[in-house]
């Protein structure tokens, strides 16, 4: 149990560093609830981690009643990753790498972080949790649902971040997906074979 919790903590730290050190300086987006948190941050100046928690509350209430095991497996991942995203925010001015390198490194950090969390049977919550609930209820592919949610978030954020950051965000999200898939490929969970 302690080993699993340690993996989730390390994964959350990777997510927090990846978001703040590489995504925030260039106004890049991620998919899902993290992306929504970043859109709120860029547009309204609110803390992305806090936004993620607040917007995830209805989904976690739904999970609590629909799939108690999924709820318990994911709740600590939501809190830890959101906390780390806000905790490492002051790192966003630490260095300013070129956008292409930031998109790749940020995607790698976030992908490794999410992959580690999924290997610990946790998640950052939000849209991933919703996709798992819908997938289990209707027998739909969870990976495709997550991809659809990520696409909607990126398109919604386009007017706020502009074309350049949008294109780099596509690379970043692809990199997140690549590293998450690498880390979860042998996890044995159908729902976790994709970001």
State the DSSP string of 113-167.
HHHHHHHTT----THHHHHHHHHHHH---HHHHHHHHHHHHHHHHHHHHHHHHHH
Mean pLDDT in the chain? 87
> Taking residues 52-76, what's their average pLDDT?
85
pLDDT given for residue 125 in this prediction: 67
pLDDT at 189 over 70: no
Please report which confidence band the pLDDT of residue 131 belongs to, taking 50, 70 and 90 as the band edges. Answer: confident
3-state secondary structure (DSSP) of residue 28: coil
How far is it, in rounded angstroms, from Cα 172 to Cα 73?
26
pLDDT at 175 over 90: yes
pLDDT given for residue 195 in this prediction: 38
Question: Closest Cα to residue 75, out of 57, 49, 98?
Answer: 57
Q: Is the dihedral of CA 36, 38, 43, 46 positive or negative?
A: positive
pLDDT given for residue 186 in this prediction: 57
Question: Closest Cα to residue 133, out of 116, 149, 155?
Answer: 149
Higher confidence at residue 187 or residue 159? Answer: 159
pLDDT given for residue 146 in this prediction: 80
Most confident of 10-19, 119-128, 136-145: 10-19
pLDDT at 10 over 90: yes
State the DSSP code for 19: I
Locate the domains of the chain by residue range.
Answer: 2-192
3-state secondary structure (DSSP) of residue 59: helix
pLDDT at 114 over 80: yes
pLDDT given for residue 82 in this prediction: 94
153 neighbors 89 (Cβ within 8 angstroms): no
For residue range 82-107, what is the model confidence (pLDDT) as tens digits?
999 999 999 999 988 999 999 999 99
181 neighbors 195 (Cβ within 8 angstroms): yes
How far is it, in rounded angstroms, from Cα 83 to Cα 116?
17
């Amino acid at each position: 149990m302690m080993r699993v919790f340690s993996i989730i903590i390390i994964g959350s730290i990777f997510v927090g560093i990846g978001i703040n050190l590489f995504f925030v300086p260039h106004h890049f987006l991620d998919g899902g609830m993290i992306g929504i948190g970043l859109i709120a941050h860029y547009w309204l100046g609110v803390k992305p981690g806090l936004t993620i928690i607040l917007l995830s509350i209805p989904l976690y209430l739904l999970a609590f009643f629909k799939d108690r095991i999924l709820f318990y497996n994911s709740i600590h991942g939501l809190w830890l990753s959101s906390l780390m995203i806000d905790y490492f925010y002051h790192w966003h001015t630490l260095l300013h790498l070129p956008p292409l390198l930031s998109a790749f490194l940020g995607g790698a950090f976030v992908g490794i972080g999410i992959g580690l969390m999924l290997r610990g049977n946790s998640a950052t919550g939000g849209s991933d949790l919703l996709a798992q609930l819908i997938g289990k209820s209707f027998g739909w592919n969870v990976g495709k649902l997550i991809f659809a949610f990520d696409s909607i978030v990126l398109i919604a954020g386009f007017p706020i971040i502009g074309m350049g950051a949008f294109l780099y965000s596509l690379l970043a999200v692809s990199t997140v997906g690549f590293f998450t898939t690498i880390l979860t490929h042998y996890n044995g969970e159908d729902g976790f074979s994709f970001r």
